[in-house]
Amino acid sequence: MNCNTPTDIQFSFEGFTKRGGLTDEHADGWGIAFFEGPAARCFIDHRPASDSQIAEFIRQYPIRSCNVISHIRKATIGEVKLQNCHPFTRELWGQTWVFAHNGDLKNFTPSLTGDFLPIGDTDSEQAFCLLLQTLKQTFGTRPKGQAPKPQEIGQILKKISGEIAAYGTFNMLISNGEALFAYCSTKLEYIVRQHPFKTAHLVDCDLQVDFGQVTTQNDRVAVIATTALTDDEVWTAFQPQSFLMFQDGQPVSEFA
Amino acid sequence: MNCNTPTDIQFSFEGFTKRGGLTDEHADGWGIAFFEGPAARCFIDHRPASDSQIAEFIRQYPIRSCNVISHIRKATIGEVKLQNCHPFTRELWGQTWVFAHNGDLKNFTPSLTGDFLPIGDTDSEQAFCLLLQTLKQTFGTRPKGQAPKPQEIGQILKKISGEIAAYGTFNMLISNGEALFAYCSTKLEYIVRQHPFKTAHLVDCDLQVDFGQVTTQNDRVAVIATTALTDDEVWTAFQPQSFLMFQDGQPVSEFA
């Protein structure tokens, strides 16, 4: 989720976590990170999202944020352990970076120099480390507050993501709290909600919300997911092998 | 807390969080990190620990770990914001590193080269970055699984901690999940609990536990705190300007 004003994700999270063991088979752990300025609250758990007390707590405790990344895991490479749960986090240029990946990569063993190394055993965390390593190699070490512009960062992320996607399926989200970047290898969809707000109904459980009741006219919220979370709104499918950058609740560039 | 078997911290956390706004004035945020292998579950919140729904959840949800670091903050340098809440976390050598500091440092502006930069505004996070930067400079980048031995790491941490303490009060805990390192600038106390276990009663609220009922004969648990958490056990005070390394629930070296 990427927004122009801090927004809670209760509605989407309710349906999303159902896919972690109930309406879908992604039951090997889950996680969610909420940016708050340059820092993030990150909750991860190796239990199924549909049966996790931490997820239950998050469903009941609204946390408002302009950038949120959440993930439910279906283990392909790496055991069901905390160290293999997404989203993964690192620091670069005094900013928190958060990353989640849906898909799997075959024979992916990038040359990591040591500035960013995986803590767990997943192909995904290796990809994350490669993305950050390439950003650091490209733009150098920089003092806090002097990170490259999102547009510059996006160009590099797009290029490396395309290279990583040659190893398999690489649908991913990454954010530094300033923008949310999405690479679609095979499947991602998004929706932008803005005034005039309507009602929406979840795919994964019988829950409806009237966004008009919980927003102001100026709010704008983009939600990106592997498959649409609601069944009565029009979601936009990403083109395969495409890259989008979201800021203030909308896509701002296709980096064509 | 450092243990030889995964242990929950419910009892200590109950009393400790009272100090976050009730029995003490450290009401400017709090946090707790539980190691699980090389990864950690880290919860941080800018609200007072005594009045935080996340802390309330943690008090009711036992998480077992061999290394736990928790902190309640009294803001000296840096606003009451998420980015300034301890513990701080980073990755080095494919390990999660967790750090918390009690005290404050004056005119402390270490030369940070950029491999580890503060996300927030505290003197504490700068000290953490300096510790990790020095470890990386000393031992180099290393592949995952080839981190230096805790004893080697401890020697460097002790030296740099002593230098940092010249800038003010520097009571700190740091861990990579393999050992827990403690530097006492002015005040730290610890206790080792092992067979035969007894009862203990908290200082900060009227709660007693019989550890014999919740342990096995082989368990050993060390708890380190600025001031003793119980009023009917004998805690050992650190010498000022001393450094201890804890493994398997006991101090293993004084690095004399």
pLDDT tens profile B145-203: 999 999 999 999 999 999 999 999 999 999 999 999 999 999 999 999 999 999 999 99
Q: What is the pLDDT of residue B256?
A: 55
Relative to beta strand A220-225, strand A2-7 is: antiparallel
Does the distance separating the beta carbons of A119 and B91 come in below 8 Å? yes
CA atoms within 13 A on the CB side of B236: 12
How far is Cα A188 from Cα A239, in angstroms, rounded to an integer? 8
pLDDT-derived band at B76, boundaries 50, 70, 90: confident
The answer to whether the CB of A41 falls within 8 A of the CB of A33 is yes
CA angle B109, B112, B114 (to 5 degrees): 145
Q: What is the pLDDT of residue A47?
A: 95
Measure A6 CA to nearest chain B CA, in Å: 15
* Preferred mutation among A144, A176, A178 to probe B, highest tally of B CBs within 10 A: A144
The answer to whether the CB of A91 falls within 8 A of the CB of B90 is yes
Extract the residue ranges of chain A whose pLDDT is less than 70: 256
| Beta-sheet strands, E only, within B8-132 | 30-36, 39-45, 65-72, 88-92, 95-102
Q: What is the pLDDT of residue A7?
A: 96
Write the secondary structure of B125-177 as one string of H (helix), E (strand) and C (coil). HHHHHHHHHHHHHHHCCCCCCCCCCHHHHHHHHHHHHHHHHHHECCEEEEECC
Residue-wise pLDDT for B117-158, tens only, equals 999 999 999 999 999 999 999 999 999 999 999 999 999 999
Which of A128-132, B16-20, B186-190, B221-225 has the weakest average pLDDT?
B16-20
| Beta-sheet strands, E only, within A51-168 | 65-72, 88-92, 95-102
Q: Closest to B82 (Cβ–Cβ): which among A36, A44, A114?
A: A36
Quickly count: other Cβ atoms within 10 Å of residue A143's Cβ: 11
Domain boundaries, chain A: 2-253
Does the distance separating the beta carbons of B61 and A142 come in below 8 Å? no
**Residue B247: CB partners within 8 Å, gap ≥ 6?**
B2, B150, B178, B179, B180
Residues of A with CB under 8 A from a CB of B: 36-45, 53-54, 57, 61, 81-83, 85, 89-91, 93-96, 113-120, 140-144
Checking ipTM against 0.85, whether it exceeds it is yes
| Percent of chain B predicted with pLDDT > 70 | 99
What would the two tokens of residue A37 be?
């300025």
Using alpha carbons, select from B174, B191, B149 the residue that is nearest to residue B243. Answer: B174
Q: Which residue in this structure is represented by tokens 């002790």?
A: B158
For residue B145, the chain A residues in CB contact (below 8 A) are: none
* Preferred mutation among B82, B116, B139, B146 to probe A, highest tally of A CBs within 10 A: B82
CB pairs under 8 A between A and B: 96
Please give the average per-residue pLDDT across B94-104, as a whole number: 97
Angle between helices B53-60 and B10-18 (to 10 degrees): 150
Does the distance separating the beta carbons of A143 and B114 come in below 8 Å? yes
Does the distance separating the beta carbons of B94 and A117 come in below 8 Å? yes
Does the pLDDT of residue B58 top 70, yes or no? yes
Between the alpha carbon of residue A226 and those of residues A188, A208, B105, B176, B249, the distances in Å are 4, 20, 47, 35, 45
Measure B89 CA to nearest chain A CA, in Å: 9
Using alpha carbons, select from B218, B214, B238 the residue that is nearest to residue B228. Answer: B238
Q: What is the pLDDT of residue A256?
A: 55
How far is Cα A161 from Cα A183, in angstroms, rounded to an integer? 7
Q: Which residue in this structure is represented by tokens 């005594």?
A: B50
Please give the average per-residue pLDDT across B6-17, as a whole number: 94
Phi-psi domain of B21 (left: phi exceeds 0; alpha: psi -120 through 50; beta: other): left
Question: Can you identify the CATH homologous superfamily of domain B2-253?
Answer: Aminohydrolase, N-terminal nucleophile (Ntn) domain (3.60.20.10)
